[in-house]
Structure 1
Amino acid sequence: MIVKTEQDEIARFLGDASNMPGGSAERVCFVESADDVVALLADAHVRQIPVTIAGAGTGLSGACIPMGGTVLATSRMNRIRDINAQSMLVSVEPGVMLADLQREVEQLSLFYPPDPTERTCSIGGTIATNASGARTFKYGPTRDYIVELDVVLATGEQLHLVRNDNHAIDGRMSLTTTNGRAIDLVVPSYAMPAIKHAAGYFASPTMDSIDLFIG
């Protein structure tokens, strides 16, 4: 993990495509592995230091603008781990750019269907926001194409989630961290408006646990 405290390094992480003002941070940590993420978040949790995740900064809602504390930059976690043309599955780290992924799969005569408008976005960012683009009208949003996630919680604990392995039942869900801690939670209950919408937290009484972390 590379840690930068120089103001010129921090400055480029204090804004994004939303152009919202007011960002501030004490340091930027360029994580290079899941172990780095675990260590950073576990320490920040104990010391009560706020952490803001920074992807490519292409979002329009200001989600990656820090309000003090530490910026966790994913740009160095940019490896495409595997492409399986037969199963049409890819495994990537969160900092992989959409354009790089599309270029690699196109060489196999494949494409990644939920193609958000900004091709310099990171895959981790598109998952966090359930990003959509022009092709979404035909193929659906990012959520429909995520089958497995490794998640690090704010405590530094980890979850390994596989779609269809675990669902909420009557608005209640149980998760188990990789170190064996059980987490029981109640899924928020609210009526969704009968209009097209692309904002707000996704929730359903029978939702898949993986969808807690998508958009």
Structure 2
Amino acid sequence: MALIRPVDETLAGFLRDESRTQGRAETISQPADEAEVRQVFRELASVPGAPVPVTVQGARTGLAAGCVPDGGHVMSLQRMNRVLGVSGDAEGGFSVRVQPGVVLQDLRNALAKRAFDTAGWDDASLAALGRLRGADPVFFPCDPTETSATVGGMVACNASGARSYRYGAMRRHVRGLRVVLPSGETLALSRGAAVADGRRLTLTTEQGTVIEVPLPTYSMPDVKNASGYFAAGAMDAVDLFVGSDGTLGVVTEVELALAPMPPVVWGVNCFFDGEDRAVGFVGAVRGAVPGLGAVEYFDPAALDILRSQRHCDPAFSSLPEVPPAYACCVFVELQEPGRPEALEALAAVGRAMGEAGADPAATWVGTTDVDRERQRFFRHAVPESVNMLIDERRRTDPAITKLGSDMAVPDGRLRDVVALYRRTLAEEGLESATWGHIGDNHLHVNVLPRNAGEHARGKALFRRWAEEVSAMGGTVSAEHGVGKIKRDFLVPMYGREGVAEMAAVKRALDPDGVLGRGNLFDASLLEGGEA
């Protein structure tokens, strides 16, 4: 089968992602390994005329349209879905090497069973696998809501999820990368091997080409962040490619650090009669319980959506009933070395609820696998239900979409940003539902437009939030990446000069502007235009 073929109606699914953004492309490829990725670039380079834009895709679970093509060629990496090996270190830790198309849930299942397709593994990997099977359980802690996401897509947007409160985002877990540049040359990057000299990074391809990369001079916000290129003095080269939104190179291999599985994991849904008490509880519990794995939030509108779904849709009938007196909820996950420590942590949660003026008895505690699965279903049912609601409204007005924010602020500004959201949503008369990673001061405020006018007002409100959150020292995207949908938000965050510096990074690694065209900044910037 030819590597490159035309896009026809049977391949329409490759033209959109979960943001419901619709794109266009002329050709598509589905390489199975790095050699085929390089071959695709060679074939595209032989096409007469201007360079062909290339949009790299994983499972298309993204929410920022980063993998939605704007013409040119789609390179889908879903066939690159093999686990390539396991390694161990002197301290007893383990890592796993995977192709970018490996699906998160498949990786979780393989690690839980400690069972892999080992065809083609070298002796060192087979020996490490033997040690892994005899060691205490390990897992990969990065946990975006969509478990059908691929590892490559998670690298592209520096994905995180609920457990980022304890374990951090994707960047923390990436030990190494293999990358194919648009030139077809390759980079082999391991942590510590290539480090910037101040704000200048020197990379050498495996073919011997030396590339000087001028790093942006802006300061990264001290919050969970997935907005634009990572930049810092003496930074590691690996960090530049993690979170680069598919604009610098095609990741063909990822080495991921694994973490010890916590011996005891309990979940606690804590309910409150108002948002102010819930926010107060977050501040109290963060200081009282060191072993928190996650701190998640559901506002009154989110709980109302769950109540409605439970009664109206049989698929959600197993949701636990939420009493009307429970206005909002904070879910905390306790990760402890044993049951006594978990009981102590649970008591500390109760005390934090009391400090916030809430009833410590207003909780659901999950201590078994069955309990925690119900809690997981509860958490994930909210975004799923909102997507269903918007899809129903789109039947009347196809132009509207869900508008989901992804902003985060420093610890001291949580109350400020919640007040900003509530005040401005009321001013605009917009329906919304809010949930997300409140432990990281990272809330997904979702505007639910009913018509084109509300959709336009919601988009304008997001631009206003981007300015005000940036002024608070926050980020415009904490975990979903920027893609095409949020690229204009980078100007208030980094300034026009900062965005221009990002374009200079791209010119160094992708001089023709082939990859991810339209992601992060307008293509005109690559020709010296203004942001």
TM over 0.5: yes
Q: Relative to structure 1, is the Cα distance of residues 196 and 143 closer, same or farther in structure 2, using a 3 angstrom cutoff?
A: closer
CA distance, structure 1, for counterparts of residue 57 and residue 188 of structure 2: 22
Q: Which residue is equivalent to 1:72?
A: 75
Q: 1:93 aligned to 92, 99, 116, which one?
A: 99
In 2, are the aligned partners of 1:170 and 1:206 still within 8 Å (CA)? yes
Inter-partner Cα distance in structure 1 for 2:165 and 2:223: 15
- Does the 8 Å contact 1:53/1:72 carry over to 2? yes
Asked if the contact 1:169/1:206 (under 8 Å) is kept, the reply is yes
Contact 1:10 1:27 in 2 (8 A): no
Residue matched to 2:52: 49
CA distance in 2, matches of 1:56, 1:38: 21
Residue 86 of structure 2 aligns to a residue in which SS? strand
Alignment of 1:185-204 (within 5 A): 185-193=213-221, 196-204=224-232
Give the drift of 1:7.
1.1
1:122 aligns with 2:123: no
Residue 93 to residue 197, structure 1, CA distance change in 2 (3 Å)? closer
Cα distance per residue 1:139-196 (max 9 Å; x no partner): 1111111111100011111000000111111111110001001111211111334555
After TM superposition, give the deviation of residue 98 of structure 1 in Å. 0.3
Deviations for 1:83-111, whole angstroms, at most 9, x for unmatched residues? 34654110100100000001111124221
What is the CA deviation profile of residues 109-162 of structure 1, one whole-angstrom value per residue up to 9, with x for unaligned ones?
Answer: 221011121100000000111101101100111111111110001111100000
Does the 8 Å CA contact 1:116/1:132 hold for their aligned counterparts? yes
d(CA) in 2 for partners of 1:148 and 1:191? Answer: 24
* Distance (Å, rounded) in 2 between the aligned partners of 1:106 and 1:172: 41
Give the TM-score, by structure 2 length: 0.39
State the shift of 1:10 in Å. 2.8
| 8 Å Cα contact 1:172/1:184 also seen in 2 | yes
The alpha-carbon distance between structure 1 residues 91 and 197, as it changes in their structure 2 partners (threshold 3 A), is: closer
Contact 1:82–1:90 at 8 Å: present in 2 too?
A: yes
Q: Which residue in 1 is equivalent to 2:108?
A: 102
Q: Is 2:220–2:230's contact at 8 Å kept on the other side of the alignment? A: no
Q: Give the letter for the 1:107 counterpart.
A: K
Change (3 A) 1:43 1:6: closer
Partner of 2:33: 33
RMSD over equivalenced CA pairs, Å = 1.7
Q: Which runs of 5+ in 2 are unaligned?
A: 115-136, 244-531
Q: Which protein has the larger Cα radius of gyration, Structure 1 or Structure 2?
A: 2
Cα 1:76/1:170, change in 2 over 3 Å: same
Q: Secondary structure at the match of 2:108?
A: helix
Match of 1:135 among 132, 142, 163: 163
Question: CA contact under 8 A between 2:219 and 2:232: conserved in structure 1?
Answer: no
Given candidates 204, 208, 211, the residue that maps to 1:176 is: 204
Which structure has the higher relative contact order (CA within 8 Å, separation 6+)? 2
Letter in 2 for 1:50: P
Match of 2:528 in 1: none
The total of aligned residue pairs comes to 214
In structure 1, distance between residues paired with 2:156 and 2:177: 11
SS of the residue corresponding to residue 171 of structure 2 reads: helix
Cα distance in 2, alignment partners of residues 82 and 193 from structure 1 = 35
Q: What residue ranges of structure 1 are gaps of 5+ in the alignment?
A: none
CA–CA distance in structure 2, aligned partners of residues 9 and 76 of structure 1: 17
**Residues 1:196 and 1:133: Cα distance change in structure 2 (over 3 Å):** closer
Whether the 8 Å contact between 1:114 and 1:141 is mirrored in structure 2 is yes
Residue of structure 2 equivalent to 1:7: 8
1:62 aligned partner:
65
Q: Give the percent of matched residue pairs that are identical in Structure 1 and Structure 2.
A: 39
1:83/1:105 contact within 8 Å kept? no
Q: 1:24 to 1:33 in 2, by over 3 A?
A: same
Distance (whole Å) between structure 2 residues aligned to residue 44 and residue 211 of structure 1: 28
2:58–2:76 Cα contact (<8 Å) kept: yes
Distance in 2 separating the partners of 1:72 and 1:143: 23
**Is contact 2:219–2:231 with CA below 8 Å preserved after alignment?**
no
Q: Distance in 2 between matches of 1:122 and 1:3?
A: 22
Q: Supply the distance in 2 between the matched residues of 1:201 and 1:32 (Cα, whole angstroms).
A: 28
Given that 1:30 and 1:72 are in contact with CA atoms closer than 8 Å, whether structure 2 keeps it comes out as: yes
- Is the CA contact 2:144–2:161 (under 8 Å) kept in the aligned structure 1? yes
For 2:178 and 2:225, the matched residues in 1 are separated by 27
* Greater share of residues in helix: 2
Does the 8 A contact of 1:42 with 1:154 survive in 2?
no
Preserved contact between residue 44 and residue 51 of structure 1 (Cα < 8 Å): no
Q: What letter corresponds to residue 63 of structure 2 in structure 1?
A: L
The partner residue of 1:160 within 179, 188, 191 is 188
C-alpha separation in 1, matches of 2:150 and 2:68: 16
Equivalent residue number for residue 17 of structure 1: 18
Give 3-state SS (helix, strand or coil) of 1:124's partner.
helix
C-alpha distance in 2 between matches for 1:27 and 1:10: 10
